[in-house]
Amino acid sequence: MEPTCLDTSLNLNVHPSSLHTDMVLEEELQRLRRENKRLTEMLTHLCDSYMVLQKQLTQLMNTNLEQEQLESRKRKAESECCTNKFGVVNNNNNNNGECSSITEDSFKRYKDFSSSPKVQKVLVKTEASNNSLYVMDGYQWRKYGQKVTRDNPSPRAYFRCSFAPTCPVKKKVQRSLEDPTILVTTYEGEHNHCNERGEIGSKQSEGGKGSSPTVRLDLVKSGLFESAQKSSIQQFLVQQMATSLTRDPNFTTALATAISGKILEAKW
DNA sequence: CGTCTTTGACCCGCGC
DNA sequence: GCGCGGGTCAAAGACG
């Protein structure tokens, strides 16, 4: 089958005497400007909505994390109460006092965590059947330990970045207590090298184990909503939009048809 | 044979 | 000072 070649080069040598064509082109230009403006407004609105949603999600995450820590502390307190069950009767007032201190402590802990500039917490949604603690994030990790913690019955895995020997980055991966399909990954430190993959999850790089595909749910990065972030998000969205549009064969075909149509229109 | 995972032992900080 | 618990080490085994 012979491919249909479409000449997409712009013919700017419009006949100067064709006033009608000029007017049509002028109109078309204005129409395109209006459309461009409308699309820009839409994009701005989209960015605003994205920011609002992101903030809501972060607030929700904060609430969940606090609640999780609170509950784990409560469980701890309860188990301690149970061990004292046959001893002296516990004073309820003491319990209440302890609960209030727990809340404050949990909150303080979370605040300390969130204020640390080099600690990132990432939640990764996995398939229910996927029991591995491997998270594909584009870097190469070497597991150096695993531990079962008191707060969570599922084991916590410890990884070091193995791409560069001097890279100080570590990560901890543990299943969420509330939703075992969510892997809570905590990154500590910053990579002192480039991402060798160049993209996230491009290859199953986790020690050759080959885990099931994961879905990135959220990225809670400390200092995420800094002042300059909005513009970068907009830039990112525009890039994403442009990439997805240019990758869409239907779009490129439609674009080529539209351009050629307009050129033909201008010529005739 | 080299690399990676597993896992028990050890270290160390923190609270009591 | 002691015990607990989180984090790390390192030997052994698995695997390509």
Residues A240/A46, Cβ–Cβ less than 8 Å? no
Token pair 């920011």 is at which residue?
A51
Phi, psi of A209 (to 5 degrees): -75, -35
Give me the CA A140–C1' C14 separation in Å, rounded.
Answer: 20
CATH of A119-188, one of 2.20.25.80, 3.30.565.10, 2.60.120.330, 2.40.50.100: 2.20.25.80
Q: pLDDT truncated to tens, each residue of chain A (268 aa)? A: 434 444 444 444 545 555 677 788 888 888 888 888 887 787 777 767 766 776 676 666 656 655 555 555 454 444 434 333 333 333 333 333 333 333 333 333 333 334 344 677 888 777 766 667 777 777 788 888 898 888 888 889 998 887 776 778 888 888 888 888 888 888 887 776 665 443 333 333 333 333 333 444 443 333 333 333 444 445 545 555 555 454 545 555 555 555 555 555 554 4
Distances A263 to A29, A30, A109, A252, A256 between C-alpha atoms, Å: 13, 16, 64, 16, 10
The backbone torsions φ and ψ at residue A9, rounded to the nearest 5 degrees and listed phi first, read: -70, 140
Q: Is A179 within 8 Å of A245 (Cβ atoms)? A: no
Are A137 and A201 in contact by the 8 Å Cβ rule? The answer is: yes
A111 touches strand B (CB under 7 A): no
Nucleotides of strand B within 7 Å of the protein's CB atoms: 4-9
Distance A157 CA to C15 C1' (A): 21
Chain C bases closer than 7 angstroms to a protein Cβ = 5-10, 16
Instruction: Identify, with chain letter, the residue nearest to nucleotide C8 (CA–C1').
Output: A145
Residues 190-229 of A with CB under 7 A from strand C: 208
Torsion of CA A251, A253, A257, A260, to 10 degrees: 110
Class of residue A150 by CB neighbours under 10 A (exposed 0-12, middle 13-18, buried 19+): exposed
Block residue for tokens 């606090």: A66
Nucleotide nearest to A188 (CA to C1'): C7
Identify the residue whose Cα has the smallest distance to the C1' of B4.
A207
